[in-house]
Amino acid sequence: MARIVRREQFSELSFLWEIEAPDVAAAAEPGHFVMLRLHEDGERIPLTVADFDRQRGTVTVVVQALGKTTLAMRDQFAAGDEVLDFVGPLGLPQHIGQHGHVVLVGGGLGVAPVFPQLRAFKLAGNRTTCIVGFRDASRRFWLDKLAEWADELIVCTDDGSAGRAGFVDAALTEVLREDRADLVVAIGPMPMMRACAEASRPFGVHTLVSLNTIMVDGTGMCGSCRVTVAGKVKFACVDGPDFDAHQIDFDELMARQRRFRQQEQQANADHAHVCSLEDLLMRQGKRTYKKYAAVEKHQVAMPERDAQQRASCFDEVNLGYAQVDALREAERCIQCVKPTCIEGCPVRIDIPRFIRHLMVRDLPAALAAIHESSPFPSICGRVCPQESQCEAQCVLIKARMEPVAIGRLERFVGDHAPAPQPSRAVGLGWAAPGRVAIVGSGPGGLAAAADLASADYDVTVFEALHVVGGVLRYGIPSFRLPRDVIERELQQLRDAGVKFQTNKVIGKTFGIQQLMERMGFDAVFIAAGAGAPLFLGLPGESAGQVLSANEFLTRVNLMGGDRFPYHDTPVGIGQRVMVIGAGNTAMDCLRTARRLGAAEVRCVYRRSEAEAPARVEELRHAREEGVQFSFLHAPVEILLDDKGDVRGLKAQKMMLGEPDARGRRQPLPLDEFVEWPCDSVIYALGTQANPIVGRATPGLTLDARGFISADGQTQATSLRGVFAGGDIVTGGATVILAMAAGRRAAQAIHHWLQGDRAEWPPAPVPLATTDAADTADAAGVAASH
């Protein structure tokens, strides 16, 4: 890191940085350059050394804001800020000797690197003439510094607003005609240096120019800065940057300099667009800023792994947006005055605000906006059914357009924004306001842990299995939710001080009462999940080749069954697999079976595809990967052979009748049956309450189905200090709904523990609004400029 100790603005575009870099300053000589990189994602840019101070340990560079990086240097960095890389000095120093009369010519920003050479030539005993040129009088700088070391200083401006009118090459011609020179040194834009070379050529004066061509590494490794000199290829970063101007192939060099012009113009246009959006959305606070006619009708497509390739591996299917895709999709959001998408989000993420920050390329702020409501954007962006929640409420639908792809944008921010620093330093004398035990490390428990840790509670999560993550680990395959994504999100909780204890079965290893009394926890949140699978009671379902979805997915996702016999856990589904059910879990089973090598995989569901609970995308992916679907078929018997092994599945054809109480059309049986040969059958019909915690906890009220009874707003149970939420309360639901319950519980726990704890159950806590956050965003943008 290198710190900017001084910043000086010369004009709208040109400015000076004095940078603290003792090692560079100690070795710098006139003619050297440095390579600078602002941040981890920045490009390396070459800057000529304009001055150096060995005693102060500083190096001065003068910059003109033209491209994306230099504009960022102008707009986003002030004295006291640091840049990531400052490398040098590089190149060969100017050969300073006694030549006689030396003419130094600087054009625009080239005036700055002329200065140290002018000073050095004068100190070496030469007579010096300095010619400098600017576009107009307002762009002049350092004339007093130059005059101190020049025997004659000639100032030119293109428009004649100061000094003599015209270009520096014309002034050079006059000087050489009237006063013979022994050496000419020209530094500036490429056309200006070429013009100076042609001006000096008729006089036979040795002329040097400094070639600051496009460089990547600056050490001679890449060859990007190659230039032809006297018919030989040279590298400006190691053989230069000063070369004999009369032997340079300028046509070739200028053609090479144009190679990135289109990309640079695009970057400049993008920067101007971002500045306009920032002013409009952040400073002015405009909402519904874009008309429907200006919005793309369709979502930006999500890149996907090829179906044939992915059906044989567990690599992630959806590859995620690239930055250009994410920004294009973000700009489909019109920033509604009344954003109904928030109402569709179970955890009430301020969706327009995080997209607003994404639009202006402020990923840390976008992530912070999401983290106010959800600690796991990379997970939720992948597995939540946004199409039936937040996206279903998008106003674009009313205009007959596809909704904004909110989930894909959430995933992009979660995957690409830098991880925030932990909210507190763990183990440094910190005193917690309370101790909270969380039972279960699934999405509900983790969401509660995140919120409580951010409020400085001492949080311990108890997990019955040997790894943390609950259903995220055992229930969702890695081709939908990669394990490194889960681990990255979990690490943030560990960094925040959350402790995890695995292989602890609450209700067996120890109970809720022990947690509250002997182990000293002030509150307990039960988020154990529903867990226990459902079966149909069909003839033959007791066969060994009939599995629940929980068993099948746990064997593969958690215990490495896909790598048997190299791992110890077998799966043994055979070549023909039937999966009963058509929810997301059923799709996971079907697609996993295909990846395990099953030649025929069939989904059997008693309703039509329109009633299938699975996400449309999951149904499409399964079909693309070779899964067969038999809708309007109800299983009636699992057929067994003489050994009692599965040999087939018998199903009855169905038709749809009138809607049931949930609005779905009821399946009605027909007098037609079909049999499919198969080697195994997997039940994916949902879950019922796991009885372990309920049976082991006296006084804990359960409902008629065996689920824990809890208040819908506070998640408080019948036991004082004990809260519960997620599938163990509601039955099988989605990741985001479990997270919402965890966040409600965390909020209620916090208010109860900070109060007098006399009232039970605790009173509901009012929801916070987002007005203050909007105000803070606007103030933050203003302060940064």
Q: What is the pLDDT of residue 427?
A: 40
Q: What is the pLDDT of residue 530?
A: 76
Report DSSP letters for 263-301, one per residue.
HHHHHHHHHHHHHHHIIIIIIS---S-S-GGGS-SSPPP
Q: What is the pLDDT of residue 268?
A: 66
Residue 39 to residue 56: CA distance in whole angstroms: 25
Q: What is the pLDDT of residue 512?
A: 93
pLDDT per residue over 300-314, tens digit each? 999 999 998 898 889
Does residue 545 contact residue 696 with C-beta atoms inside 8 Å?
Answer: no
Backbone angles phi, psi at 82, to 5 degrees: -120, 150
Helix (H, G, I), strand (E, B), or coil: what is residue 122?
Answer: helix
Residue 523 to residue 458: CA distance in whole angstroms: 11
Residue type, 685: L
Under 8 Å CB-to-CB from 302, ≥6 apart: which residues?
Answer: 318, 319, 320, 321, 405, 408
Q: What is the pLDDT of residue 287?
A: 87
pTM of the model: 0.73
Under 8 Å CB-to-CB from 101, ≥6 apart: which residues?
Answer: 126, 127, 128, 129, 179, 180, 181, 182, 183
Residue 240 to residue 575: CA distance in whole angstroms: 68
- If one counts every other C-beta atom within 10 angstroms of the C-beta of residue 688, the result is 18
Residue 731 to residue 727: CA distance in whole angstroms: 4
Separation in Å, CA 165 to CA 87, 145, 152: 39, 22, 17
Scanning the structure block, which residue is given the tokens 């259903």? Answer: 471
pLDDT per residue over 182-227, tens digit each? 999 999 888 999 999 999 999 999 999 988 766 666 677 777 778 8
Residues of the chain short of pLDDT 50, as ranges, are: 425-430, 768-772, 775-776, 778-779, 781-785
Which DSSP symbol is given to 304?
A: B
Residues in a beta bridge with 531: 689
Does residue 287 contact residue 87 with C-beta atoms inside 8 Å?
Answer: no
Residue 355 to residue 777: CA distance in whole angstroms: 13
Backbone angles phi, psi at 638, to 5 degrees: -100, 120
Q: How many residues in the chain?
A: 785
